[in-house]
Structure 1
Amino acid sequence: MAGKARASGSKRSFGGLRQLPSGRWQAQYTAPDGLPFKAPRTFQAKDDAVAWLAAERRRIELGTWTRQLQTDVPRRTLTLATYADRWWSQTESRHKPRTRTLNRGYLDRVILPELGTTPLTALTVSCIREWFAGLDAFPTRNANAYSLLRTILNQAVDDELIAANPCRIRGGSVKHRKVEPVVLSPAEMRELMSRLPDQWRALILLAAMSGLRWGEVAALRRSDLDLSPNGMLVTVARGLTKDRGTWVVGRPKSRTALRTVPLPEALRPLLVEQIERWAEPGRAGLLFPSKHGGFLDATAPRRALTRALAAMQYPHMRLHDLRHSAATIFAQAGSTLSDHMALMGHSSSAMSARYVGTSAARNRVLIEGIWTD
């Protein structure tokens, strides 16, 4: 193995091949002048690399080979747009449909309009920095687009098309919130429950007490719920997304999102009522179906949550904020970092820390506790 590439594992009578981490093939041979000569490009298929070596050997045998001839063959300039499109087309088997749709949007609307016509080898640190500084004020979108560009150019480095990745903006992929999530306390959760319509109590309280993502909640089947007398559990086995108007059921967001989460006993009567009144029949039936059957859109429960919070004179809250509430309650209850990551389905401690919030009421309790004898 040389550098980051891995050997092809085959010996040849003329020239040599090696497979790069990207899966593409590189070919080279010892030229008649005694010096190594590498193919001017890498190859998608091993057979293409073998064919190139055969053609080069034929030139040598015919006596028409010269280094000047071989190195002066004009090549089409590889632009970022061409390479990025190729990279995106190769992610079909690796990325979820929703992820590919989002990445296509970042490419078409954020990255390529400014940088697409730039030759891959002409991208510099200052060029990337100027592009990033000129983006409109959409922090999360910009961070995601920068992260995607960095990933694509890392692949270009592996393909030995560029020597180094020019994406070197410190904190460029860090997402800065424009609005802080709203975190509810257990007491506020109980009040919220009393103000919610019967139909949405189990769903919203399950999300708030388990920390499941909305796509994980909406994809739950009755078989995912264990109402054992010894303790209730919910198993996350799949996630639901919407890609260009079509529901897509697949694996959860990450491998660590495949998990089983314990549920508080206070949820039992609500879940029993949900199964009896609104869930689809059979173990494979959806736990939270839409009014007419099938997957539930977030619009109706979001409206119910907004109305209940308005009655509590509480600020506007997103459904995703329920996950932040669960994360904060877990942390304040004394969960270890490992506990917290397992419950939330996080793959990094940094993400778990990002989800833990606080409130003015909580800070008041801590301050009073510090200054009371």
Structure 2
Amino acid sequence: MHIADTTFDTKGRAEGWLAQERRLIDLDIWTSPAARAAAEAAAKAEAEMEAPEVVCFGPYAKNVVATRVSRRGKPLSRRTVDSYTYLLRDHINPSFEDTPVADITFEMVRTWYSNVSRRRPHGRKSKVENVNRDVPTTRARAYEVLRMVLNVAVEDGLISQNPCRIKGATAIEPAHDATVLTPAEIDALARAMPAELGASVLLASWCGLRPSETYELRRRNLNADCSILTVAFAATYRNGKTVIDRPKSGSTGEVVIPDHIRPAIRRHLEKHVAEAPDALLFPDPVTGKTMREWVYRRIFKAACAKIGRPDFRPAEQRHTGGTVAAQAGGTLPEVMERLRHKTPQAAMRYQRIAAGRAQTLASNISKFANTEPPA
């Protein structure tokens, strides 16, 4: 006795099923309904096991960032991981998090790129006037991260071609031109700062230091006559704590301090720095520990207002250092070494600025010609 695997709502359908069974018997290919059902279930289970797993973009991108290494084969720096995480969370995942990686198309990327936010969200410490301040680099950097994740997907065999193929999408247009102080303005800004922080302006502006690098300078980083400064660490404040790490891009090294500021640095050591080798050059005025960046920024902003340069920001001290090095005649390799750049692209910015002094150079040539004795 063999029973159908379902009931029938009409006699005609039941008779049709019996007729089909008799046809299979006549063809000598009949097996029992139960055996056929078991074979179909086994085939379905096997197909499901062989079907590729659906990999969604969100968890895949998170794993890529967690396991990615730098060009030197080392884990990504904390700063880089924080940047990638922010761009994924705020600008990429809202569009792609639940989308299978294999389903992301060029059209989807193009639509996302045209709509991705180019504005910084209102932070806890932001001023009201800074809400929705335009940040045009965000879109280019978000695109770089999306392209990086999908390049890894190509390597993993999840997709055959990266859909990120928008020409010029990674070109970064600065929100504004970086400002540069003149030597007189650098001196004025140093005097406008509190006495214990004035030397930070001199070192950052004349030696091309990042603010995070000045926060972690210690007495041992200066040699005996204050002619050489060793940049070894940087201090950043993230997620409620100060983290001491290598400078950005691992750009450690020695910097020769210009002669004209060495006396000021020596006076700073005598008056404001403890004798211990690990004593901070510029400790936080409130805690006495490593400077917190927003504390320094607040003091720095007040000093800039005093000298009539409220547009100048702490990070632009490094830009000033690179510019004066190029204007003083530094070649591209020399500027790269002084600012500890790994690639020539960044140092080229200062060479272009120096090239804008063509009229000054021509005038200096004329002065030189006029002072030469006749042959």
TM-score for both structures, normalised by structure 1: 0.73
Query: What is the root-mean-square deviation of aligned Cα atoms in Å?
Result: 2.9
Assess, with a 3 A threshold, how the Cα gap between structure 1 residues 87 and 295 changes in structure 2: closer, same or farther.
same
> Within 2, Cα distance between the matches of 1:203 and 1:283?
18
Q: Aligned residue for 1:97? A: 78
Q: Is 1:354 aligned to residue 313 of structure 2?
A: no
Aligned amino acid, residue 210 of structure 1: C
Counterpart CA distance in 2 for 1:371 and 1:277 is 46
- Higher alpha-carbon deviation: 97-106 or 288-297: 97-106
Partner of 1:337: 332
**CA offset at residue 85 of structure 1?**
2.1
Q: Of 45, 52, 61, which aligns to 1:84?
A: 61
Structure 1, unaligned runs of 5 or more: 1-64
- Show the counterpart of 1:193: 190
Q: Which amino acid aligns with 1:98?
A: R
Distance 1:301 1:186, change over 3 A: same
One of 123, 138, 159 as aligned partner of 2:104: 123
| Residues 267-323 of structure 1, C-alpha deviations (whole Å, 9 max, x = no match) | 223222322332244112222111232101234443443333333333421001111
Higher normalized helix content (fraction of residues): 2
Q: How many residues align?
A: 305
Q: 1:131–1:280: structure 2 CA closer, same or farther, 3 Å change rule?
A: farther
Contact (CA 8 Å) 1:79, 1:118: kept in 2 or not?
yes
Q: CA deviation at 1:345?
A: 1.4
Residue 283 of structure 2 is aligned to residue 289 of structure 1: yes
Q: Secondary structure at the match of 2:248?
A: coil
What do residues 214-261 of structure 1 show as CA deviations (whole Å, max 9, x unaligned)? 111111121111143xx7011111122222121111122123x11100
One-letter amino acid of the counterpart of residue 202, structure 2: L
The answer to which structure has the higher strand fraction is: 1
Contact map agreement 1:239 1:249 (CA 8 A) in 2: yes
Does the CA-based 8 Å contact 2:236-2:243 persist in structure 1?
Answer: yes
Matches of 1:211 and 1:101, distance apart in 2:
25
Give the distance between the partners of 2:357 and 2:186, measured in 1 at CA: 14
In 2 relative to 1, CA 301–170 (structure 1 residues): closer, same or farther, beyond 3 Å? same
Instruction: Please tell me whether residue 277 in structure 1 is matched to residue 284 in structure 2.
Output: no
Preserved contact between residue 101 and residue 243 of structure 1 (Cα < 8 Å): no
Is the contact made by 2:186 and 2:201 (CA closer than 8 Å) also made in structure 1? Answer: no
For 2:150, which of 150, 153, 158 is the aligned residue? 153
Greater shift, 241-250 or 97-106, is seen at 97-106
Which whole-Å deviations, capped at 9, do the CAs of 1:321-360 have from their partners, x for residues lacking one? 111111100111111111111111111111112355749x
Q: Secondary structure at the match of 2:336?
A: helix
Report the secondary structure of 2:244's partner residue.
strand
In the other structure, the counterpart of 2:116 is 135
Task: Specify the alignment match of 2:14 in structure 1.
Answer: none
Aligned to 2:235: 240
Match of 2:253?
259
Q: Structure 1 residues 155 and 221 mapped into 2: Cα distance closer, same or farther (>3 Å)? A: same
Give the CA deviation at 1:174: 2.6
- Number of the residue aligned with 1:114: 95
Distance in 2 between residues matched to 1:347 and 1:246, nearest whole Å: 29
Secondary structure at the counterpart of residue 209 of structure 2: coil
Counterpart contact for 1:201–1:270, Cα < 8 Å: no
Task: Identify unmatched segments of 5+ residues in structure 2.
Answer: 1-41, 119-134, 370-375
**Corresponding residue for residue 22 of structure 2:** none
Over 3 Å counting, the alpha-carbon distance change for 1:369 and 1:233 in structure 2 is closer
The SS at the match of 1:217 is: helix
Is the 1:200–1:301 contact (alpha carbons within 8 Å) kept by the matching residues of 2? no
Distance 1:332 1:181 in 2: 16
Letter in 2 for 1:221: R
Q: CA offset at residue 70 of structure 1?
A: 6.5
Aligned residue in 1 for 2:175: 178
Identity, in percent, stands at 31
Q: Which residue in the other structure is 1:30 paired with?
A: none
Q: Which stretch has the larger CA shift, 305-314 or 132-141?
A: 305-314
Deviations 1:35-66 (A, max 9, x none): xxxxxxxxxxxxxxxxxxxxxxxxxxxxxx99
For 1:319, what is the secondary structure of its paired residue? coil
Local SS of the residue matching 1:199: coil
Q: Do the aligned partners of 2:326 and 2:350 also contact (CA within 8 Å) in 1? A: no
Match of 1:166 among 160, 163, 181: 163
Task: Determine if contact 1:97/1:243 at 8 Å carries over to the other structure.
Answer: no
